[in-house]
Structure 1
Amino acid sequence: MLNRSKSNYRNPSRLKSRFAFLFLCVGLMIVMYSCWQETKNDPLSNKLVVPLTSDPTTYDPVRMWDASSHGRTSALLYNGLTRSDIEGNVIPDLADSILISPNGLVYTFHLKRGVVFSNGQRLTANDVRFSFERLLLESPSSWVLERLVGATEFVSSIRDSSEMEQSQEDSVFVNKKRVRISGIRVIDSYTIELKIQEPFAPFLSLLALPQTYIISKDAVERWGEDYGQNPVGTGPFTLKKWQPDYYLLFERNPLYFGEKPKVESVEFRIIKEELTALAEFELGNLSFLPIPDAEYQRIISDTKRSSHIVSRNMLNSYGLNLNCGKPPFDNVLVRQALNHAIDRQTILERLLNGRGTLAHGVIPPGLGAYNSSAKGYEYNPEKAKELLRQAGYPDGFSFDIWQSTEKSALSICEAFQGYLQEVGIEASIVQNEWSVLKTAVRKGEIDSYYRAWSADYPDAENFLYPIFHSEQPTTANLNFKNKKFDRLIELARATQDPLHRITLYQAAEELIIQEAPWVFFYHGTESWVYQPWVKGLEIPLIFNGDKMNDIQIERNNSFDSDSSIEG
């Protein structure tokens, strides 16, 4: 019988494995401690520490798409010919002056002199041309510049060519022949002319988008595919360090041409959970953050924080998008009935703490075309029933509401569901990931879906044409077609007179209100809470409207010792 008593013998291979495992654990602890030390907020530092819910994937402008991470942070690194300021006004940026021809087709930009990239290279008009040609050739967002004369032909000639190269003089050659975009003309080192195919009043707004930021050709050629992790711009900050999934560190750019930032650095910490970020803020480790919905009432009720909250009506519109090409929503009376059936004000107050403005249409407050006197749909369930009877649905009907998997969206859709049931309409909620939802919407077969539309650029056109024009894809408008609306918005886009354009925008929106392709819900308000030592914080109206060079830190030791939020 074998003796199974314990032995003093130790297997050398097992010992080596244990030591290897021990060393691995110690190594991981050192790395984690190092990351913690680097991201810890030094109370005496002149550094802002700000949360990001997701890690940017790249800082190459032609591949940036996520407004919350790319758009917000890339504004610190880059400049465009124009930019949106805090209030959403489109102003010159790298351009010193801008001339627009009387017919609205030719834009002449005189560039600021003395601007250099963070690598010391001088910025010229050739950099603008290089950046725009590269955007058209390589970016999924090439639509931003597709209005340029010759843009379509330029892209087609490159993609259909058997041989393409780019010279040191920024010229693109196809089969040994130079190819240019006829709508881009470099007049001299500091003057560039852009010509568009037809008048488009918001064109300068498009040139403020992150995709149109001006980049260094030398840096792109040096880094190749890795340029997105090694960006070179002309902005007030440079990217010093990037630890994926942990943090990004931006440092003040000593070569910046504009007003120098008042802080030495900005650190963006990747914190995916809102409540985790709030806990870090309460410990004093974050400079400011958006207030989570679940904690809004607690924070605004805290006497220590009431004077350290900023709020702004944002450029967005929330509502239930109805499939106007499918019964019963092909009947305008049914669509109007749904707008009367839901008590939107009560939902806004009870589920969203009143953080928003009730929507009468789709254009949000903050834009010049917002019509505060527009007559929307009051809550009137009896009128909703009468409209259903007139439409041929006296006993109601059933349909599906599609939505994303967000909890806040679910609670809102459940409230819609309850109110609709009171007028005889049975609504079933279908939850799916955004990718699945987007595919279903594109096919145009679903009944409805709850959505939010946020501005790409601060112009009412962005809330009208992309969503409701007949030529837009099903993804945007779910089969809404109205020729009169199409004519109005087309005329508005081509109108240079801003006051006349506002009149046309409001007339186009009035048609949308009457036709009711949405159940109009609300325009959201954003609120941020900040530490008492943070000064000059404002919420930008557009996502990339703040370069953070006006925010500063002024310490007050009497408050710093007790910075937590009272429960």
Structure 2
Amino acid sequence: MGRRLVVIGLAIAAVSAAGCGHLPGRQPDPDQAAGFRGGAWREAWSRSPASLDPAHLVTLLDAAAATLIYNGLVRFDLQGRLVPDLAARMPERSADGLTYRFELRRNVRFHNGRELTAADVVYSFRRVLDPATLSPRAWVLEPLAGAAAFRRGERDDLPGVRADGRYRVVLTLERPLAHFLSLLAMPAGFVVDRAEVERHQDPADYGFHPVGTGPWVLAGWLPGAYLRFHANLDYFEGRPHLDRLEYRVIEDGATARAEFVAGNLDRLRLTPGDSRRFREDLRWRDAMVPAMDLAVYYLALNCEKPPFTDLRVRKAINHAIDREAILKAVLPDRHVPANGSIPPGLEGHDPALAGWTQDPDLARRLLAEAGFPRGFRMEILQTASPGALAITEPIQSMLAQVGIKARIVQLETAAFFSAVGDQGNPDAFFISWWADIPDPENFLYPLFHSKNRGAGGNRSRFADPVVDRLLETARATMDRAERVAMYQAVERSVFRQAPWVPLYFPVNYSIHQPWVRGYISSPVATAQKMTGVWFDPEATPRPFRPRGNRRETASEDAQLSDTPVVTHGSHAPGGKHADFHHASRCPRRPGGVAGGRAGFSRTHR
């Protein structure tokens, strides 16, 4: 690894460890920022959300849009910390780790003006778990007592969630689960208004007429064109600084880049090509902001299929590949090399975890010991993506140098996930995994516990009863330090057995206009509620009129509210495994394949 790459990797890890990437330059002073009201945020999305119904949110983009509208009992802040949201404070937990008591904030109101109560939380959780809802997110709430049977339609009551008066919610689990509160921060934990849901004859229509308690009110939505929001002036944490948000659907990256350079977009997420262009431009180079994604890319080996059942063969494949040379050529400055599955900056990441070094001679000796002195033939599956091919072709060449003749098979997304799922029997495949929550459990239990074999997340078919027991114990361990130590022990044990060739943790870059203040990048899709972002008129070359602290007028709201919100659209399920371009993340459980750009949820357990 070159010195430049080392420095970049350390810098990105430091940013990720802080849980955010800060915009260079002046950051918002709360007193100063409070004086600047107004302005419309403009950003490009590659597509429209599939729905804004929390029961059916399946992608990162869907979640990012919905978090503007809704709140849950708890949430992740921009530093990745779990904090109260609709709850007035973090819950009281019983000594046995089974019962959580939440006291709700008073005078929180839905966008229609109705006050939120404990009954709304109970209804929202029951709705997600109700088999009639067909929610791909139901697994999030399945740890609640009675939830599994309720979800199967075997019981009508749900003892795990109840209202204790108007402002108290009591949740009871079947068994202790250390990361349960983190699950509640996912979109499945968002609270909806029952009357708003049930006034639609077609249940799918609610996803296009959402009503929440969040800082932004949906004002206009034309699928394939834009989403518009106006500020909730009565938001319980105080109205946002900005007046409006507009997300334009721009599928073409060159068009989005041109719009940003012209000053028509306030923020742009950069592709690898964009990163090179902006880095070479002195006007923009210092404004690029790096941030770690909660994801890992890897080459999975089928541990149930000969010859990959032989540890020596799996080790030989790891020793044959020079990951750093590949990544330096293909993704300069856009990666941190991976030795395991837990990304840098996430609790449980072990920087001392030893990786596999390229050693072709050792690889040949291991193959000979395993009975393959002349190598063997194999297939590497990938989605039909030029980006993925840029990774797999050098791997193919390096394997050939030790006698392994690998054929690359490119498949459409649906065929790919079928081939690497429960019914498939691949040799190896290039894939990625994206987290739902910033917790190390996300990068171990679904990927390596034997019960999740195949489409459940453990697509390499890895099985080790010792690892299974450690994972189960760690999930029920409430002591944070003990739990982290267990996860690090699991990761070391797993990667000594080489079920993967771990490749890299992705680094993304975004860029902001010079007038933007207070925007913090977060790898958690639901963390950015756009409440602290504001425009600095002293740095604004385009027309800007600060509104001070006055309220918007009815006519200003009407400018956006006149745009109708459509009542149709697709509801494609999404998931968590992804190809190189994030074009689809694994099927929702137990099967099926996502459409859309960026997958959000783990569909496994």
Q: TM-score range by the shorter chain?
A: 0.7 to 0.9
Distance (Å, rounded) in 1 between the aligned partners of 2:95 and 2:78: 29
Distance (Å, rounded) in 1 between the aligned partners of 2:153 and 2:65: 34
Identify the residue that residue 555 of structure 1 maps to in structure 2: 537
Distance (Å, rounded) in 2 between the aligned partners of 1:127 and 1:221: 13
Aligned ranges 1:101-112 → 2 under 5 Å:
101-112=94-105
Q: Cα deviations across residues 163-212 of structure 1 (Å, max 9, x unaligned)?
A: xxxxxxxxxxxxxxxx3201112111111111111111010111011122
Identify the residue that residue 26 of structure 2 maps to in structure 1: none
Alignment partner of 2:519: what SS? Answer: coil
Identify the residue that residue 407 of structure 1 maps to in structure 2: 386
Identify the residue that residue 94 of structure 1 maps to in structure 2: 86
Identify the residue that residue 74 of structure 2 maps to in structure 1: 82
Asked if the contact 1:323/1:444 (under 8 Å) is kept, the reply is: no
Asked if the contact 1:315/1:366 (under 8 Å) is kept, the reply is: no
Higher relative contact order (CA 8 A, sep 6+): 2
**Structure 2 residue 147 is matched with structure 1 residue 151:** yes
Distance (Å, rounded) in 1 between the aligned partners of 2:294 and 2:81: 13
Identify the residue that residue 465 of structure 2 maps to in structure 1: 483
Q: Give the deviation of 1:260 after TM superposition.
A: 2.2
Out of 285, 297, 303, which is 1:324 matched to? 303
Out of 137, 142, 148, which is 2:138 matched to? 142
Alignment partner of 1:446: what SS? Answer: coil
| Residues 414/45 of structure 1: CA separation in 2 closer, same or farther (3 Å cut) | farther
Out of 123, 126, 130, which is 1:133 matched to? 126
**Structure 2 residue 259 is matched with structure 1 residue 277:** no
Q: Cα deviations across residues 515-544 of structure 1 (Å, max 9, x unaligned)?
A: 111100010111101111111222112122
Asked if the contact 1:341/1:381 (under 8 Å) is kept, the reply is: yes
Moved more, 193-202 or 390-399: 390-399
- Length, aligned pairs only: 498
Out of 443, 449, 452, which is 1:469 matched to? 449
Q: Cα deviations across residues 10-55 of structure 1 (Å, max 9, x unaligned)?
A: xxxxxxxxxxxxxxxxxxxxxxxxxxxxxxxxxx971111111121
Asked if the contact 1:314/1:366 (under 8 Å) is kept, the reply is: no
Moved more, 546-555 or 456-465: 546-555
**Structure 2 residue 286 is matched with structure 1 residue 307:** yes
Identify the residue that residue 62 of structure 2 maps to in structure 1: 70
Alignment partner of 2:264: what SS? Answer: coil
Q: Cα deviations across residues 112-170 of structure 1 (Å, max 9, x unaligned)?
A: 11111111011011000000000001212211111111112223346x9xxxxxxxxxx
Asked if the contact 1:337/1:387 (under 8 Å) is kept, the reply is: yes
Q: Structure 1: which 5+ runs fail to align?
A: 1-43, 161-178, 562-567
Amino acid at match of 1:83: R
Q: Give the deviation of 1:96 after TM superposition.
A: 1.3
Distance (Å, rounded) in 1 between the aligned partners of 2:153 and 2:47: 38
Alignment partner of 2:164: what SS? Answer: strand
Identify the residue that residue 513 of structure 2 maps to in structure 1: 531
Q: Give the deviation of 1:246 after TM superposition.
A: 0.3
Identify the residue that residue 313 of structure 2 maps to in structure 1: 334
| Residues 557/205 of structure 1: CA separation in 2 closer, same or farther (3 Å cut) | closer
Asked if the contact 1:297/1:353 (under 8 Å) is kept, the reply is: no
Amino acid at match of 1:131: S
Q: Give the deviation of 1:327 after TM superposition.
A: 1.0
Q: Structure 2: which 5+ runs fail to align?
A: 1-36, 544-605
Moved more, 313-322 or 378-387: 378-387
Distance (Å, rounded) in 1 between the aligned partners of 2:427 and 2:238: 51
Distance (Å, rounded) in 2 between the aligned partners of 1:401 and 1:545: 36
Q: Cα deviations across residues 312-339 of structure 1 (Å, max 9, x unaligned)?
A: 1221111001111001111111111111
Q: Cα deviations across residues 443-474 of structure 1 (Å, max 9, x unaligned)?
A: 13111111111111111001101111000141
Identify the residue that residue 207 of structure 1 maps to in structure 2: 184
Identify the residue that residue 451 of structure 1 maps to in structure 2: 431
Amino acid at match of 1:82: V
Amino acid at match of 1:496: M
TM-score w.r.t. the length of structure 1 is 0.85
Identify the residue that residue 384 of structure 1 maps to in structure 2: 363
Alignment partner of 2:206: what SS? Answer: helix
Out of 112, 115, 120, which is 2:113 matched to? 120
Identify the residue that residue 495 of structure 1 maps to in structure 2: 477
Q: Give the deviation of 1:275 after TM superposition.
A: 2.2
Alignment partner of 2:420: what SS? Answer: helix
Distance (Å, rounded) in 2 between the aligned partners of 1:82 and 1:392: 55
Asked if the contact 2:453/2:462 (under 8 Å) is kept, the reply is: no
Q: Give the deviation of 1:555 after TM superposition.
A: 3.5
Asked if the contact 1:333/1:387 (under 8 Å) is kept, the reply is: yes
Alignment partner of 1:119: what SS? Answer: coil
Asked if the contact 1:310/1:538 (under 8 Å) is kept, the reply is: no
**Structure 2 residue 47 is matched with structure 1 residue 54:** yes
Distance (Å, rounded) in 2 between the aligned partners of 1:258 and 1:384: 59
Asked if the contact 1:82/1:93 (under 8 Å) is kept, the reply is: yes
Distance (Å, rounded) in 1 between the aligned partners of 2:97 and 2:280: 51
Q: Cα deviations across residues 406-436 of structure 1 (Å, max 9, x unaligned)?
A: 2211111112111111111111111112111
Moved more, 195-204 or 401-410: 401-410
Asked if the contact 1:117/1:255 (under 8 Å) is kept, the reply is: no
Distance (Å, rounded) in 2 between the aligned partners of 1:149 and 1:440: 35
Tell me the C-alpha RMSD between the 2 structures.
1.6
| Residues 555/431 of structure 1: CA separation in 2 closer, same or farther (3 Å cut) | farther
Distance (Å, rounded) in 2 between the aligned partners of 1:197 and 1:181: 12
Q: Give the deviation of 1:557 after TM superposition.
A: 6.2
Distance (Å, rounded) in 1 between the aligned partners of 2:539 and 2:178: 51
Distance (Å, rounded) in 2 between the aligned partners of 1:424 and 1:273: 41
Distance (Å, rounded) in 1 between the aligned partners of 2:478 and 2:311: 33
Identify the residue that residue 265 of structure 1 maps to in structure 2: 244
